[in-house]
């Protein structure tokens, strides 16, 4: 930019897709002037075949894009059920067979859209230097890890403490540029009500359903003088089971937290089909987020 104007990155954040994606979305983002697209996961619903169809549409994007796998990505319905329902936990190891193959198939279907987890990327979208730190994949929220057998085999992560250590190592690898976190589920520490930004709305007891490893990583970054601009995630749909609405964004200790999971992201508004995403505007000094229906 000229005249000493502050450089700004325009980043599109797409919440839990759950099959609500088509070539009209591709056309919009290819012509929308975005420097980078971030997908917070859950491209699929309960079958991986239809999720791969979404991925094959995503590969038509001409904008740099990355996606963290959600709890619906690479997991079939029986595996997902065994992770969610306590009485089915004993079947988790059996049902996780083939998850690696399913994730590789999704990765191939995505083409140039990077399927990414436990990683750090140094980018400069719109000329703004950023460290993109990508968190734990396949999170279902709460106090424990999901897909532990797969995480251990694929990433060497066999416990929450190991995940915390991995995220801290990614922060240590960052240079002096500000940090933006990409996750599927958001961090704990932002509220324990059912309608908190990552609160639990599907149990009788209200509680914080955020990821502890991500919260500790953020505290570690802030405690070590790192400049964290924003954390973008989804997973906990904005409309709760009781019909209440979560906040779309929260500011805490100088960090912007965005829950992009407006589900379904395709809906009719005043008789016209609209499509949801979040426009994240980032400068070296901060970030702002705006919900858009287009």
1: in domain:
no
pLDDT bucket at 40, cuts 50 / 70 / 90: very high
235 assigned to some structural domain: yes
Dihedral sign, CA of 88, 89, 91, 96?
A: positive
Q: What is the dihedral of CA 11, 2, 227, 66, to 10 degrees?
A: 20
What digits encode the pLDDT tens for the residues 129-180? 999 999 999 999 998 899 999 999 999 999 999 999 999 999 999 999 999 9
Domain at 66, CATH number: 3.60.21.10
The verdict on residue 122 lying in a domain is: yes
pLDDT in tens, 260-281: 999 999 999 999 999 999 999 9
Pairing outcome for strands 65-67 and 36-39: parallel
Least Cα distance to 292 among 130, 180, 269 occurs for: 269
Count of domains observed in the chain: 1
What's the chain's average pLDDT?
A: 94
| Any domain includes 267 | yes
The Cα 96–Cα 277 span in angstroms is 31
pLDDT digits (tens, 9 = 90+) for 74-109: 998 877 777 777 666 776 777 778 899 999 999 999
Q: Which residue has the tokens 């954040």?
A: 13
Q: What does the block give as tokens for 99?
A: 């998850």
Q: Is residue 4 part of a domain?
A: no
| Tens of pLDDT, residues 202-253 | 988 999 999 999 999 999 999 999 999 999 999 999 999 999 999 999 999 9
- Range of the structural domain that residue 39 is part of: 9-293
Q: Within a domain: residue 3?
A: no
How many angstroms separate the CA atoms of 128 and 29, rounded? 20
Around 129, how many Cα atoms within 13 Å sit in the side-chain half-sphere? 6
Runs of H (alpha helix) within the chain: 23-30, 48-58, 77-84, 92-95, 99-110, 148-155, 160-172, 212-223
Q: CA angle at residue 162 from 167 to 99, to 5 degrees? A: 90
């Amino acid at each position: 930019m000229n005249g000493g104007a502050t450089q700004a990155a325009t980043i599109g954040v797409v919440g839990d897709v759950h099959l609500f994606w088509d070539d009209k979305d591709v056309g919009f983002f290819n012509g929308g002037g975005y420097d980078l697209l971030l997908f917070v996961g859950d491209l699929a619903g309960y079958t991986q075949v239809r999720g791969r169809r979404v991925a094959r549409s995503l590969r038509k994007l001409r904008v740099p894009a990355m996606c963290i796998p959600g709890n619906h990505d690479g997991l079939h319905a029986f595996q997902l059920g065994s992770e969610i329902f306590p009485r089915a936990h004993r079947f988790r190891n059996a049902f996780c067979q083939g998850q690696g193959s399913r994730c590789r198939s999704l990765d191939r279907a995505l083409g140039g859209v990077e399927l990414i987890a436990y990683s750090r990327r140094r980018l400069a979208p719109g000329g703004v230097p950023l460290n993109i730190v990508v968190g734990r994949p396949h999170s279902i929220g709460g106090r424990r890890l999901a897909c532990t057998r797969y995480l251990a085999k694929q990433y060497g992560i066999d416990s929450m403490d190991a995940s915390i250590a991995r995220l801290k190592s990614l922060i240590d690898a960052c240079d002096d540029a500000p940090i933006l976190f990409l996750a599927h589920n958001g961090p704990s520490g932002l509220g324990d009500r059912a309608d908190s930004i990552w609160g639990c709305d599907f149990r009788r007891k209200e509680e914080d359903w955020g990821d502890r490893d991500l919260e500790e990583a953020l505290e570690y970054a802030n405690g070590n003088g790192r400049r964290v601009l924003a954390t973008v995630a989804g997973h906990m749909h904005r409309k709760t089971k009781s019909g209440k609405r979560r906040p779309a964004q929260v500011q805490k200790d100088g960090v912007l937290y965005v829950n992009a999971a407006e589900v379904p992201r395709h809906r009719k508004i005043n008789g016209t089909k609209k499509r949801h995403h979040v426009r994240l505007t980032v400068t070296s000094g901060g970030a702002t987020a705006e919900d858009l229906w287009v």
